[in-house]
Amino acid sequence: MAKSTSILIIEDEVAIRVGLVDVLIYHGYQVDYAEEGLSGLEKALTGNYDLILLDVMLPNMDGFQICTKIREQDKGQAIIMLTAKSTDEDVINGFTLGADDYVSKPFSVAQLILRIKAVLRRSTLKNTELTFIQLDENRRIDLQNLCIQIGKNSLPFTKREIEVIEYLQRYNQRPVAREELLSSVWGYSESMDIETRTVDIHIARIRRKIEIEPKNPEFLITVRGAGYRLICESDN
């Protein structure tokens, strides 16, 4: 791993923070850290980090607030959230705010390193020439401005949600398997033994934004045993 790759750790628990610093330095990363929310936010906004490991529960400012502030300035900053809770509510909240992935405490070092490498690998998606995807006469996904227009209303997408939509649109003549999305959008290699509901949560979130009835989807459908397909009228 190139030593120029830099990671910021924002974690208030001393034992976890010291352990993370040692492990990441051992794996060849340059490491910086902050012990509480406000100083962590300042470093995140003024530094130049390839990835931020962001704890949820922090003094002065929690990880969700920090993630929001980071995304207001930089939609592309890689963020992995560390949480003591693995409830859907916390995980969904993190993804809603634009986190790239999450790791639940306690975590194994091997799993954490795999997730870090996957997020750093970046998406294999190339820049698309599309500007929008027309789902039907009332629903248009604006790929450049990360939102969907439904009549006169607009709902925002995260960058990762748009990447999922773009990938499904690119291969919309066939079902796209969950494992393919993990590999092509999140950067997980097929050899990684990682348990994650990341794809399921993102699909559910996208459906809530684009579907008339999310429980009976007509645009982002599931092909049983095969994967997901995006059904749309046209794209441009």
Mean pLDDT of all residues in 112-122: 84
For 197, other C-beta atoms within 10 Å of its C-beta total: 13
Closest CA to 176 of 220, 229, 218: 229
125 or 204, which is more confident: 204
Contacts by 140-149, CB closer than 8 A, 24 or more apart: 141/165, 141/210, 146/75, 148/209, 148/210
Over residues 3-36, the pLDDT tens digits come to: 478 999 999 999 999 999 999 999 989 999 999 9
Over residues 51-105, the pLDDT tens digits come to: 999 999 999 999 999 999 999 888 888 999 998 766 667 777 888 888 888 888 8
pLDDT of 108 higher than 60? yes
Which class for 9: exposed (0-12), middle (13-18), buried (19 or more C-beta within 10 A)?
buried
CA 199 to chain centre: 10
Closest CA to 90 of 64, 60, 118, 52: 64
pLDDT of residue 183: 83
Asked if 143 and 132 touch (Cβ cutoff 8 Å), the reply is yes
Over residues 160-218, the pLDDT tens digits come to: 899 999 999 999 889 999 989 988 888 776 656 666 788 999 999 999 999 999 999 99
Asked if 168 and 162 touch (Cβ cutoff 8 Å), the reply is no
Over residues 56-68, the pLDDT tens digits come to: 999 999 999 999 9
pLDDT of residue 3: 45
- Give the whole-angstrom CA distance, residue 5 versus residue 155: 34
The domains found in the chain, sorted by start residue, are: 6-120 (3.40.50.2300), 132-235 (1.10.10.10)
In this prediction the pTM is 0.68
